[in-house]
Structure 1
């Protein structure tokens, strides 16, 4: 049975976005309240807990959320222009779609991010981060902005609003570090589309494969997290529009679903289980560490997955995502599972969750677990010899308070995300649409647009007769 172009399921993309937002939530819960989940065991050669075992540890140990968002950015930014080029054979419309998408992307990211930063700034002014500044969670203390008087706090807000997009530093919401790379990555996709939209299919695919290879061989900071994931998303968007590829997947569905997909999931999942810290604390992670980072035993080379000089934690996470992205692409049953309406709802609210959850966790969540006052606490100071004393931090009030904090945090986060999408994000979308309508020319305004550019206005309603006056052979009118 051949794949039918009009019936292809792409709802799984939104469902995957929803799953990713949940992964971000559970990762930050473990960072805040149970950081040893990032290790293969609580102590060296100790008995691991259930959630520290390979595969089961992946949702809690982090690292995969942002790369999945990068993959989805590559897929979504490329899908519509490629659909116009493939199904309608309209290269001009595809390029115009790229132009409009490129125009919309900055305000659609920057406006909501600025509002979220302002909300965190208000909490800082009101002293809402006092408990977070004094708690015994290193990660929470690092993420919480330090207290400042009002005027310096206002200055820090304006500086942070700029540095979010210049060097990824946002002192009010450090989770926004990924916003700038995702924005740049979207434009990477637009440039590739504009440069290759007129190529034959096989050469366009070759470009995407070469880009994935380039970013994978590049051991600079975050190349696997963004560059390789964006190029993979663009490649799969390309193949999703190619009917022979879809027909081949359909005709080999049993082999792909029963053999190839499970192998990819098992291999990718085991590599993706590589711990954030203390890889030498468990036998399985020691073997994986030696295989990835030192296969010859002398430290001279790395491996294909982890070239020498690369960030092992991020490489393993990227390899895991590549395996699972290909698995989803070739397995319709998984696509249908991700197309469930609950996951699609979560995906629709994923950006709002990403923006609001950090502030809620560091305020309400920490208030419940540690107490709203952040007291009693005092700076360590120095001893009689002038040496700095070891700082004592506030401990959580008990496991029931932590569990209550997690429950309230999750419910409040998704409630706030729903309200955010209904009022804040919709207002940002309207503002962006208004600006786009102002900036871009409508197709029916050709004559007015030509006159605005300084060329003679042509009478008549026929577009072909209007455009025929602007050609190289007409010496009276310069070519447009």
Structure 2
């Protein structure tokens, strides 16, 4: 296989990167549930850091990179096929049709699985499966677990959650679905950009993608760096993956890019991405990073290029790491080959299912092992004689052995459930989407007979002539 042919370029790394991301999502949610201080640079101001609180090593556990990677991959994957059709095969109409079909498939392929996962969580809540989670001493788990309600109110809440997942990102049965709506909206942003630029010359399309990235990075609104900038980066790299001079240049500089540039990008991005969730003053390295990123002037008057004044430093730093890593992977065939390993491809194939099922399993089976299945003994905090509330006592974790068993069982059960999900649930959702697509879209080999009939045009017979109308050749014209 020639490396000078972008049409044969290896993009299996996309699936491998998605698989690693799903594993990182599990790591961060286990950390949030069972060891929240991993998000800090140390357990307290006077303590030294644990090994998983050190720079670089802390990144999988502290999270914040999963959703930005999914946003980048959404931009890359949504753009790759239409661009390939338009600029390698010279078929702009086919590219536009591919965009239209992809835009149609995207909502049901996200909404149907998410709705089914929500219903499963609702059923578990009806049987009190979240009792231990709502009474444990992990505040993050309590926040994520749905409150116990009577069946009627619980059923009404199910319908509200099914709607608000796609309106204000709120889903009390699976709060991890908050990213579904921004990813869906982001995919349509990519489709609009592709349709608007499909006829432009290459240099101007690249200019559009770069300007979009700069726009989102300069915008200090919520999540602009997580979704907007990474979506634009994904589309930009999908363009460059089709550009033969760019691919030829990468092929001729493989050693420099693979062994020097790519590692430097990952090291710089990883250092910035190690910025802690809070308590950055508890460690010298974190305090130095805070001064460099957030307050370089020392008086709070301005931010930095990476973290503009008024933006979210945690998300900005993580998004910067994701962007550096994405560019490094794009420039390094060796990294792409490593990410194309069959085990990572398996993880990537099941990543969406992992994202949908892991939260429910963690808050049920995982918490049953760590805190006990019954959620007892427990009582609601009473009031003192003077009317003030007593502090609520929450269920404590069991011993370290229970925690280890809980993590192992949770991880194994999550990937087993993801395998089953992909085999049955996702397959059913894919078939339903294909059926809808076949019903809605015209035939592939031209405008279908039903489409012509709907528009009032005569249907053609096999010889290319109009078929006679039922009311004869002199019947009234179509309305």
Measured against aligned partners, the alpha-carbon deviations of 1:348-372 in whole angstroms (never above 9, x if no partner) come to 0000000000000000000001000
Measured against aligned partners, the alpha-carbon deviations of 1:385-408 in whole angstroms (never above 9, x if no partner) come to 101111110101110000000000
Shift of 1:5: 2.8
1:471 maps to none
Q: More deviation in 442-451 or 229-238?
A: 442-451
Instruction: Give the distance between the partners of 1:439 and 1:58, measured in 2 at CA.
Output: 45
Please say if 1:452 is aligned against 2:454: yes
Q: More deviation in 95-104 or 78-87?
A: 78-87
1:253 maps to 254
Contact residue 383 and residue 389 of structure 2 kept, 8 A: yes
Evaluate the alpha carbon distance shift between residue 2 and residue 419 of structure 1 in structure 2; reply closer, same or farther with a 3 A threshold: closer
2:89 maps to 88
1:25 maps to 26
Alignment TM-score, normalising by the size of structure 2? 0.95
Please say if 1:166 is aligned against 2:171: no
Measured against aligned partners, the alpha-carbon deviations of 1:405-445 in whole angstroms (never above 9, x if no partner) come to 00000000000000000000000000000000000000345
1:267 maps to 268
Shift of 1:6: 4.0
Instruction: Give the distance between the partners of 1:403 and 1:26, measured in 2 at CA.
Output: 13
Instruction: Give the distance between the partners of 2:317 and 2:3, measured in 1 at CA.
Output: 36
Instruction: Give the distance between the partners of 1:444 and 1:224, measured in 2 at CA.
Output: 41
2:114 maps to 113
Instruction: Give the distance between the partners of 2:162 and 2:121, measured in 1 at CA.
Output: 12
Q: More deviation in 379-388 or 91-100?
A: 379-388
Question: Following TM superposition, where does structure 1 have runs of at least 4 consecutive aligned residues deviating by more than 3 angstroms?
Answer: 456-462
1:36 maps to 37
2:473 maps to none
1:14 maps to 15
1:211 maps to 212
Shift of 1:456: 3.9
1:298 maps to 299
Shift of 1:382: 1.1
Instruction: Give the distance between the partners of 1:173 and 1:201, measured in 2 at CA.
Output: 42
Evaluate the alpha carbon distance shift between residue 461 and residue 282 of structure 1 in structure 2; reply closer, same or farther with a 3 A threshold: farther
Instruction: Give the distance between the partners of 2:256 and 2:194, measured in 1 at CA.
Output: 32
Evaluate the alpha carbon distance shift between residue 64 and residue 456 of structure 1 in structure 2; reply closer, same or farther with a 3 A threshold: same
Contact residue 45 and residue 282 of structure 2 kept, 8 A: yes
Instruction: Give the distance between the partners of 1:149 and 1:141, measured in 2 at CA.
Output: 18
Contact residue 25 and residue 63 of structure 2 kept, 8 A: yes
Q: Secondary structure at the match of 2:366?
A: helix
2:236 maps to 235
Contact residue 447 and residue 457 of structure 1 kept, 8 A: no
Contact residue 123 and residue 129 of structure 1 kept, 8 A: yes
Instruction: Give the distance between the partners of 1:419 and 1:363, measured in 2 at CA.
Output: 18
Q: Secondary structure at the match of 1:199?
A: coil
Shift of 1:60: 0.4
Aligned alpha-carbon RMSD (Å): 1.5
Contact residue 7 and residue 84 of structure 2 kept, 8 A: no
Instruction: Give the distance between the partners of 2:189 and 2:8, measured in 1 at CA.
Output: 29
Measured against aligned partners, the alpha-carbon deviations of 1:1-32 in whole angstroms (never above 9, x if no partner) come to 86223431100000000000000001111111
Shift of 1:45: 4.2
Instruction: Give the distance between the partners of 1:217 and 1:338, measured in 2 at CA.
Output: 31
Q: How many residues align?
A: 467
Instruction: Give the distance between the partners of 2:6 and 2:375, measured in 1 at CA.
Output: 58
Q: How does 1:18-417 map to 2 (within 5 A)?
A: 18-417=19-418
Instruction: Give the distance between the partners of 1:443 and 1:59, measured in 2 at CA.
Output: 45
Evaluate the alpha carbon distance shift between residue 267 and residue 451 of structure 1 in structure 2; reply closer, same or farther with a 3 A threshold: same
Instruction: Give the distance between the partners of 1:45 and 1:265, measured in 2 at CA.
Output: 31
The gaps in structure 2 that reach 5 residues or longer are 467-476
Alignment TM-score, normalising by the size of structure 1? 0.95
Instruction: Give the distance between the partners of 1:41 and 1:52, measured in 2 at CA.
Output: 6
Q: More deviation in 248-257 or 102-111?
A: 248-257
